Amino acid sequence: MQGFLFLSPGLLLILAFFIIPAVVTAVMGFTSLDYRFKWDFVGLGNYYRMVRDYLIPRILVNTLVYTFGTLGIFNVTFGLILALLTTSVGERAGLFFRALWLLPRFTPPVVYAAIWLWILSPTKNGLLNGLRAAVGLSPVAWISQHPWGVIIITNGIIGASMGMLVFASAIKAIPRDYLWAARVDGASWFQEVRHIILPLIRWPLMFITAYQTLSLLTSYEYILLITQGGPFHASEVWSLYAYNLAFSSYSGTYPFGYAAALATVLVVIGAVASVIYWRIFKFREMMAPPRIETV
């Protein structure tokens, strides 16, 4: 009983900020709540609507491409490459480059998005088109022609820095003797990475993969700021769709109930993904004390 007393501030916070919103969202998903704010329960009505929504397949594909594209190319792979490179060069140069990659994290999202809008601008004043013009090429409408590429790159550039930081500190924590032993044993740099470094940072790799999957599933602010999900839903992901339905006027009626149902599905997807990762990566093993066998 006393234990609960000590835990109660934490439990209250969890209740207030995680459980209650989730429950309210789930409940709201069973209503036809809209701009009139009437809690009329409609049973599974919103879920029928979802199944019939012709945009849903497209948004589902977008979400998968965006999440796993950003994750696979940037948040894990590129983060890992940055970590390997910045830990292979000298201590100070490495620190400098890591700090450089962290800059977008300190930049307000709106500023970060504005910079990308300038880089990708379809006019000849955009950075990329300016470069093209310099070599005599005509401007390209980057965002409308390559919406997937744009959302993956803009999110990846900023997202890679977390993997980079976690991986770099994991790599630096590897005792130097292992790496030296591998070198004496005849390993090249690539073999050192493949046979020693990667196996030894297995847990951070898995952690970042799982964590970033969940955070990419629910994040949409850069997409909102840079492509608004367009052109015509081409870069619209699940969470952005729910947001747009609920808060932008394009459906006209502010269907909070339907948006809440969409959000609930996202929560379920996230929960399922967590369980899958838990299973595959055996998080339990990671949390458990190391096995000790006496000789």
Partner 1 sequence: MASLRLEGLTKRFGNVVAVNGLSLAVDDGGFIALLGPSGCGKTTTLLMIAGIYRPTAGKIYFDDVLMNDVAPKDRYVGLVFQSYALYPHMTVFQNIAFPLRLAKRSREEIERKVKEVAALTKIEKLLARRPGQLSGGQQQRVALCRALVKEPEILLLDEPLSNLDARLRIETRAEIKRLQRELGITTILVTHDQVEAMTMAERIAVMHDGVLQQYDPPGVLYDRPKNLFVASFIGDPPMNLVPVRVLEQGGRLILSADGFQFSLGEELREGLSPLVGQEVVLGLRPEDLLLSREERPEGIPGEVFLTEPLGGGILVHFAFGEVKLRVLAPREQPVEVGDRLWIVPQGEKVHVFGPDGRSLREADAAA
* 3-state SS string for 41-85: ECCCHHHHHHHHCCCHHHHHHHHHHHHHHHHHHHHHHHHHHHHHH
What is the 8-class DSSP label of residue 252? S
Contact call for residues 219 and 143 (beta carbons, < 8 A): no
Contact call for residues 226 and 143 (beta carbons, < 8 A): yes
Kindly tell me which of 1 and 184 has the beta carbon lying closer to partner 1. Answer: 184
Does the protein bind partner 1 through residue 288 (CB under 8 A)?
A: no
Kindly tell me which of 120 and 201 has the beta carbon lying closer to partner 1. Answer: 201
Sign of the C-alpha dihedral, residues 170, 158, 110, 35? negative
Does the protein bind partner 1 through residue 51 (CB under 8 A)?
A: no
Interaction mask 148-187, partner 1, x per CB under 8 A:
---------------------------x-xx-xxxxxxxx
Kindly tell me which of 192 and 236 has the beta carbon lying closer to partner 1. Answer: 192
Instruction: Quote the tokens at residue 283.
Output: 């998080």
Strands, E, within 64-214: which ranges?
A: none
Shortest Cβ 81–partner 1 spacing (Å): 21
Among positions 188-217, residues that touch partner 1 (CB under 8 A) are 188, 191, 195-196, 199-200, 202
Kindly tell me which of 105 and 194 has the beta carbon lying closer to partner 1. Answer: 194
Among positions 100-139, residues that touch partner 1 (CB under 8 A) are none
Binding site for partner 1 (CB under 8 A): 175, 177-178, 180-188, 191, 195-196, 199-200, 202, 290, 292-293, 295
